[in-house]
Structures are given as structure tokens and as C-alpha cells.
Amino acid sequence: MKMRLLTLLAALILSACGGGGGSANSTGTSPDNQSSSSTTPSENNNNENSDTDTQSNDELDTQDQSATNDQGSAEDISTSPVVDIRVPSEVVRKGSVITIDSVVRGSTEGLTYTWTQTSGPAVTLSGANSASLTITLPSASSINKDSYTFSLTVTDSTGTSTYTETTLESVNAMSELQASALMQQATLGATYSEIQAASGLSEEEWLNQQIALDPTLHTPLLENYPDRDNPNHINRIDAWWKASLNAPDQLRQRVAFALSEIFVISDANTSLRGEPEGMVAYYDMLLKHAFGNFRTLLESVTLSPAMGVYLSHLGNEKANVERNIRPDENYAREVMQLFTIGLNALNLDGTLKLDTDGKSIATYSQKEVAGFAKVFTGWTFAYSARWDRPSRNYTLPMHAFSAYHSMEPKELLNGEVIPAETGPHESMQLALDNLFSHSNVAPFISKQLIQRLVKSNPTPAYVARVATVFNDNGLGIRGDLGAVVKAILLDEEARKFSQVQLHSGKIKEPILTKVHLWRVLNARSELNRYYTWNLSTTYGQGPLLSPSVFNFFRPDHTPNELQTLELIAPELQIATDSNMVATINGHYGDLVWRMAERKTTLNPNTVYMFAQDDIAMLANNGLQSLLDYYDLVYFAGTMTDITRTALVDLDSYFVNKDEAQRVAQLLYMISLSPDFNYQN
């Protein structure tokens, strides 16, 4: 009797437990006689019936008497199978074939399997009635991750079932062409090895890898001019070339270059010409803050002695009637007009806000200019012993002298006023906070970065999406430039995936076409010097060589031919006749005259192009293979049939020449082609 009581009690406990394996994480309702579990096994939820615990011996005796021939043993109680689903542990790529396995604890004899897809893009299920499911995921059709849910029902011979679900996400695996397209926007020109390394990754993975890299700064690359004790202007350019051509953090270098065309300083025909250390320090500051916070960047720009000299707020004094001194308004004006908010009030999407008469609304007046001018008084070089004896230290942020700072009230944007007797440091912080919080900053800066990286004519919706990220990166942080850059490059307008867009792309900046060619062709000199003279007269631009604070071109420049279409093409502002002729000659000199394989001896000071791989490909694989390669590295797959035909025709003219001459001429024509000079 006692043995039968214990056996029956065990059976009742097992029945209350549901046979094991259930998880609270499963979705959907399990059918009758079916238990539910999820991908990750959980501990059994052994909630026993409290009534069973309190049953009296008399009740158990009654149940025992109703049992016949000891048929209540635990061995006869049916339990549902316990099932785990195992998905691939590595990142799942779109377009890949994956297998999802099920593992049943205990015997698998007599089990049946039924796999179904419950969510996600439709896929074909191979092995839908077996222990393992094989599926082929669709190729990428958008930048977003695809999410899938699959369910498995395992039924034993008694009809008892277990229902289990698993969810997985697939990310893009960039092809070489897709990687090249991204890197045209996000680098200074990708090499074939860089394209290969990026292919197979998703766009976001590559961007995250780039953002995580330490900055390649220019200061360590700044060398003295030969036979001199100090660097000069050409050494600053040399340092820029070394970083641009060789730095692994290409995204940072590209973004810093874009920022240098917004927060403009220049040593072209200015007193900064003789301050290469200060110019390099300024560029390094842009590199350091390229993925940081815009507010921090704005403060670093403001306190840069190079910027202070360029826009004359270094040494700016408070008003003194007797000495006929008034605060200089230069930086006060440009920090609003060019660096933060622009001239007119903007909607989030970058379009103009209009008043009741349909007219644009000015963002500031002379009153605010005068107020900010007072803020930027009392600042000079760091480590200056006295105001009238500045140190001329161009590498450290400026230092304040309170005696020369205006203590008058300072009127800022949106009616904010800095009270009288507020010192230089607190005034600076309040003023920059006032600028940073203005609603124009997000669309004003976001649109310009889109124009510098992706396209000249972004749709208002594109600007609004990026500006929204500027205002909040998803973690409540405003001004996260790393998040902004990712939003720009991962947006549907940047990653088109064969979607037809009415207006896309941008004209490549001439200096960037040169850098692109030099990077792919491993340009170098024997002495590791990149002494490039007269960049501005040859290409219409150069790093930190703008003719004014308004950059080489304005972000809203519209050539006459595009005005009726209401399109802008900023880069065409420097496409003058003289500049274009000079650029053509510059490319010819690089690609034809200075191809190393066409020389018998090399000048150790001269930068040469090295095309041995191209020459070997032409000799061994033929012209079409070489053009396919060029289509990848120079055009990101956008070489038109017209351009390819023109290249074939050109090569037929030089077909009796050696391969080095043929390659040189092909590269020269590529440098002139519309396809190459248009980033699409």
C-alpha cells in the first residue's frame, strides 16, 4: 500500500509539472496536449498543486482503491518532448544559406517535426519535416536588418507536442561594388585591398570599425623642410598627403576634410602662412572631434588660436571710447552665419520658415552680432605673460584676460541675455550653449555634411531624418556627430539599392579626384615626400587653402544651366575654364609623365604612380578585365557604356604601344570622364 501511494504521488506531481521543458518566453497559444518552449531552455517551472500537498491519507487510500492492477505507475504517464533550437552563432548575412538545428532531450524515436515561418520576408523551407531546417535568405534590398521568426512543433508517438520558436536577424553582406560605392562617399578614395576587406561586412559594421579607429593625426607627420630647422607651408601640405594616402581611419579623414570646408581657416595669403604647426594643430582638432559632440567641436574651433587670428577675435578687446576701440564683430558674425545657424530660420528638413507674408525670417540681427562680439573679447594666446606680449602659441587653446573682457550685458539669440559683470569663461560657455541649442543647427549642419559626403540635392525628408538624429542620437544626446555621420551614410538616399532617384550624387571635388587616383596607384616618392606646389591654381582648391572664410564654393551655388531645374552643384563654382584646363594638365602629369613603369630612373623627390598590377592585368587578362577592375575601384560600378566604348577606342589607338603606355592613357581618360568626376 505504501509503495502504491508513493508511486501515485509521483505521478500526480509529474502531471502538475506538465512533463518539463516549458518556457515563459514562447509566443502564441499551445494546442491541447502540447507544451510550449523557446529557443533558450529555461528551468522547469515546478509549481506543484498545493491541494495535492494537503491530501489526507484517507483521500489517498480512496484513490489507491480506485486504481486497478497497479496501472498508475509513473512510467505510463506521457510527457511532451523537451526541445532546444540552435541557430548559427555567427552573424547571419542576407543572401546566405543557413541551417537551424533542433535538439531533443532523450529519445527521438517516433518523433515528427513541423517547421513553419511565422514572420519576416518569405523564404523557402527545406527540411520542414525534419530535425534541421535549411533556408536561403533573400539578398539585400535595403540597408535595414531583416528579422525572421520560425516555429517548430515536435510530436511524439502518443500525440503529445512541444511548440518552440526562434528569432534571428540578418544583416547585409556588401558585395565589392556595394563596398566601393559606400567608400566613395566615406573615404578619400578606396584602394582595391580596402574594398576587398570591406566586402562581406554590412555597411554599419564597416562604419563602426572605422569610427572605432584611433585618429591618424597630422602633427606627428609634420617634418622640417630640408636643411632648415622648422617646417614651412609645404610641409603642412606634405603631412596632409601622408595621412590622406596612408591612414587607415579613412572615414575620419573624409569627415575632417568636410568639416574643414565648414569651419574654414586658410593660410592662403594670410598671416597663417608662416604657422604650419598651428594649421596642423587646427586640422588635428577637426580629426579628433569628427565623431564627437558638435558642442565640444564648436568650443574647440572658437578657442583655436588659428581661428582667432583668421577671424580676428584673438586679441579682441572690450570697448574703450577714449582709445576708439570697439569689439571686433568678425567671428561673432561668421560663427552664426557659417558655423551654426545660417542667415534664415529653417524647418527641421532644411526648408525655409516663412512669415505670414511668405517671406524668409532672419535668424539674427545686428543686436545679436554686437552681443556675441562682446563675448569674444579678452582672449589671446595661451601662456601669454601679458596681454600686450602674446606668446604666439598656435597649438593650445586661447587664454582669457578678464581685464580686457567686456563686462556689459550681452544680448544673444532668442532673447537670452548674459548679465553684466559676467566673466570671459562663463560668457563663452553661455554663448556657445545659446548657439548650440538653436533649432537651426541640426538642419543647417546636417544638410552641409550630406552635401559634402553624399549628394548635392538631398530631399527635405533626408535632411529631416539626419537632423532628427542630430537632435537626439537615440540616447537623449544632442550633437553626436558619429551618429550623424552614420545616419547620413546609412540613409536610404545614400544606399539606393537600385531605387530610382530623380536627382542623386554630386560632383567630385577636384582635389579628391587626385587623392583617389593617388591612393589606388600607391603614389609615393623615394624620400617619402609629397611636395605638391600650387594646388589651388591647379585644382582650384587644397586643404585649408580657401580664398576666404566662405570656402572654395558655397553650399547653395547654382550654375546657370541648372537654375531652371532648381538644382545646386556647389563644386561647379570652381569649374572655371582656367581651373579645368589646369586640372586636365595636372592629371596628365601624374598619370602619363609620372608613371614609374615608364621611367628608367626615378627622381627621389618626385611623386610617381605605380601601376604594375594594372599593367600585368592588361597583359595577362586583357582589356575587358582591366576595365572591369577600373569600373570597381574608380566608378563603383557606374561606368557607362559610352565611357567603356571610349576607353576601348582609345586603347585601339595605342594597341601597338607597350602596356605601360596603354595603361597610362586609359587612366588619363578615366580622370577626365564624366562618370569618374561624378560621385553617384
Whether pLDDT at 654 is above 70 = yes
Percent of the chain with pLDDT over 90: 83
62: confidence class by pLDDT, cuts 50, 70, 90: very low
Kindly report which listed range (77-81, 563-567, 670-674) carries the lowest average pLDDT score: 77-81
Q: Are 585 and 593 in contact (CB under 8 A)?
A: no
Instruction: Calculate the average pLDDT of the chain.
Output: 90
Q: What is the pLDDT of residue 87?
A: 87
Q: What is the pLDDT of residue 497?
A: 62
**Tens of pLDDT along 311-333?**
999 999 999 999 999 999 999 99
Fold annotation for 82-171 = Immunoglobulin-like (2.60.40)
Inter-CA distances, 606 with 125, 300, 525, 528, Å = 61, 37, 5, 9
CA distance 259 to 215: 15
Segment 557-582 shows an average pLDDT of 95
Segment 268-273 shows an average pLDDT of 91
> Please, which residues bridge with residue 115 across strands?
152
**Tens of pLDDT along 594-604?**
999 999 999 99
Q: What is the pLDDT of residue 78?
A: 56
Q: What is the pLDDT of residue 90?
A: 77
Segment 533-557 shows an average pLDDT of 97
Segment 419-434 shows an average pLDDT of 99
Quote the cell numbers at residue 171.
Answer: 544583416
Kindly report which listed range (18-27, 434-443, 449-458) carries the lowest average pLDDT score: 18-27
Segment 35-53 shows an average pLDDT of 44
Q: Are 640 and 678 in contact (CB under 8 A)?
A: no
Whether pLDDT at 263 is above 80 = yes
Site of grid cell 630640408: 226
Q: Cβ of 499: how many Cβ atoms within 10 Å?
A: 11
Q: What is the pLDDT of residue 309?
A: 98
Q: What is the pLDDT of residue 502?
A: 62
Instruction: Give me the residue spans of the domains in the chain.
Output: 2-76, 82-171, 294-439, 508-544+576-679
Whether pLDDT at 274 is above 90 = yes
Whether pLDDT at 32 is above 60 = no
498: confidence class by pLDDT, cuts 50, 70, 90: low
Whether pLDDT at 609 is above 50 = yes
Q: Are 166 and 87 in contact (CB under 8 A)?
A: yes
Phi/psi at 330 (5° precision): -65, -60
Segment 633-656 shows an average pLDDT of 98
Segment 163-191 shows an average pLDDT of 96
Q: What is the pLDDT of residue 107?
A: 86
CA distance 266 to 264: 7
Mention every residue, 6+ apart, whose C-beta is less than 8 A from residue 183.
190, 194, 195, 198, 250, 636
**Tens of pLDDT along 216-242?**
999 999 999 998 999 999 999 999 999
**Tens of pLDDT along 373-399?**
999 999 999 999 999 999 999 999 999
Segment 398-411 shows an average pLDDT of 98
Q: What is the pLDDT of residue 26?
A: 38
Q: Terminal CA-to-CA distance of the chain, rounded, Å? A: 87
